Structure 1
Amino acid sequence: MMDKGTALVIGGSRGIGGAIAVKLAQLGFDIVFSCREVSEAALSTRDEILGQGRNCEIITFDLADRNASTSAINELLARLTPHVAVYNAGITRDNLFALMSEQEWAEVMRVNLDGFFYAFQPVVFNMIAAKRGRVIVVSSASGQAGQAGQVNYSASKAGLIGAAKALAKEIGRKNVFVNVVAPGVIETEMTSAMPKDKILPLIPLGRFGRADEVASIVGFLAAEEKMYIHGQVIGVNGGLLI
């Protein structure tokens, strides 16, 4: 398999992020993925990647902490510039807007949106200098259409879409591609408590998506050589949004 360089996955220990890390390894990338702390899931993802014959490194930091984020990323960039960078971090603190606390709002914004700035500003700077790179942002259908009880989450994911589109206009001429993948309802720990009986009738395919189906689209955007997709939002939602 051809060596495609290194892919950085922010939030790559499990779920959609873990599936993305594994898929990129299958496509020939060495992997660096981040998580807040090393868990059994993170070690399992690492071992699966190593088992494919690719290198894998785990870096740990709190995305909500700018100093910790930039320090960890700059330490990585002192050794290498990723060919691909995927921002997959995301948390929820669901509540009705009228009842939402400032902490619930701020925690989601710091990780989901501010963390993108903290972690990816130095990465993008290096990609511009290298005149190559692919930035892939994992947003959400909630950021496209909004979701009751998730004003904070929807706002953060919509913010990622706006940020990615603006960034695409800034750096496309530097041979750095920027695109967004917006999953719908995917079977992960985050969606395990959702009422299937109420949601499934809204999805034309009649089922929740799988993490590997999201990873497949990310892999295409990361590895396809003949690429003219830039600044776009690709929905992986089973027809939830048409």
Structure 2
Amino acid sequence: MNTPRTVLITGGNRGIGYTIAEEFVAAGHRVAVTARSGSGPEGSLTVVADVTDPASVDTAFTTVEAALGPVEVVVANAGITKDVLLMRMTEEDFSSVVDTNLGGAFRVVKRASTNMIRARFGRILLVSSVVGLYGGAGQTNYAASKSALIGFARSLTRELGGRGITANVIAPGFIETDMTAALPDDVQDDYKKVIPAGRYGSAAEVAKTITWLAGDDSAYISGAVIPVDGGLGMGH
């Protein structure tokens, strides 16, 4: 049995983030999620936060700390996409995606790190994407933001590794969500042809990887990129 921890997941009100929160709750941890709207699963505390606003992030942490104790595991999952070809991409298309996906991770991890350093324990988990390494046409903004999390995690590992803190990146591939379910059948079939596993992953498969990386057995893994993509991104 893993030691029960206080866990904060950003963007935990839907999709993969919601499933990650469910998995941590089921494993007996004290779980909080941030959301701009909606709420996390039963058994979790939901705090309203906008990861692009440092004051909002600080308030969310203060609320969680008062209710559940210092955050020991942080999962930077909140992210947005604004897919458009480079020639048509606006400054706002680029800056808003980078500020949410990369800047949001920076703000959340910076705020979490203070207590982690004091406690000499912490698990920092950054949700990237296979696209961060594989690339995606029309996704220069998104891919850049997701790739940047790797340099961020590896620098964190060098800064904080001696204090019992790990920082790892999870790179999901195509995962079964409402978004992928809405794709036409022929498009889905084309995607599945390039995935060696021949299928999409489940959000639970991503969540179980994250809960394992947050647990007692993974203390010597840091600065790693863990793909959960059915082999799609091999060699990247």
Taking structure 1 as the reference length, the TM-score comes to 0.89
Q: 1:2 to 1:233 in 2, by over 3 A?
A: closer
SS in 2 for 1:28: coil
Pairing 1:128-147 to 2, within 5 Å after superposition? 128-147=117-136
The question of 1:46 aligning with 2:41 is answered yes
Post-superposition Cα deviations, 1:1-20, rounded to whole Å, max 9, x if no partner, equal: 77612111111112111111
Q: 1:137 to 1:62 in 2, by over 3 A?
A: same
Rounded Cα–Cα distance in structure 2 between residues aligned with 1:111 and 1:98 = 22
SS in 2 for 1:106: helix
Question: Does the Cα contact within 8 Å between 1:27 and 1:223 map onto a contact in 2?
Answer: no
Partner of 2:147: 158
The question of 1:71 aligning with 2:66 is answered no
TM-superposed deviation, 1:227: 2.9
User: Which of 49, 59, 71 is 2:47 aligned to?
Assistant: 59
Rounded Cα–Cα distance in structure 1 between residues aligned with 2:157 and 2:163 = 10
Rounded Cα–Cα distance in structure 1 between residues aligned with 2:152 and 2:169 = 10
Partner of 2:84: 95
Rounded Cα–Cα distance in structure 2 between residues aligned with 1:2 and 1:135 = 16
Rounded Cα–Cα distance in structure 1 between residues aligned with 2:47 and 2:139 = 29
Post-superposition Cα deviations, 1:27-66, rounded to whole Å, max 9, x if no partner, equal: 22010111112x2xx2xx432xx2xxxxx21010111222
Unaligned runs of 5+ in 2: none
Rounded Cα–Cα distance in structure 1 between residues aligned with 2:50 and 2:5 = 26
Question: Does the Cα contact within 8 Å between 2:150 and 2:223 map onto a contact in 1?
Answer: no
Pairing 1:206-221 to 2, within 5 Å after superposition? 206-221=198-213
Taking structure 2 as the reference length, the TM-score comes to 0.91
TM-superposed deviation, 1:169: 1.1
Rounded Cα–Cα distance in structure 2 between residues aligned with 1:74 and 1:169 = 27
Question: Does the Cα contact within 8 Å between 2:34 and 2:60 map onto a contact in 1?
Answer: no
Question: Does the Cα contact within 8 Å between 2:192 and 2:200 map onto a contact in 1?
Answer: yes
Unaligned runs of 5+ in 1: 51-55
Paired residue type of 1:16: I
Rounded Cα–Cα distance in structure 1 between residues aligned with 2:218 and 2:101 = 30
TM-superposed deviation, 1:193: 4.6
Paired residue type of 2:95: A
Aligned residues: 230
The question of 1:175 aligning with 2:164 is answered yes
Q: Which moved more, 1:197-206 or 1:224-233?
A: 224-233
Q: 1:27 to 1:163 in 2, by over 3 A?
A: same
SS in 1 for 2:18: helix
Rounded Cα–Cα distance in structure 1 between residues aligned with 2:189 and 2:141 = 25
Partner of 1:231: 223
Partner of 2:97: 108
Q: How many percent of aligned residue pairs carry the same amino acid? A: 40
Question: Does the Cα contact within 8 Å between 1:137 and 1:181 map onto a contact in 2?
Answer: yes
Rounded Cα–Cα distance in structure 1 between residues aligned with 2:191 and 2:90 = 27
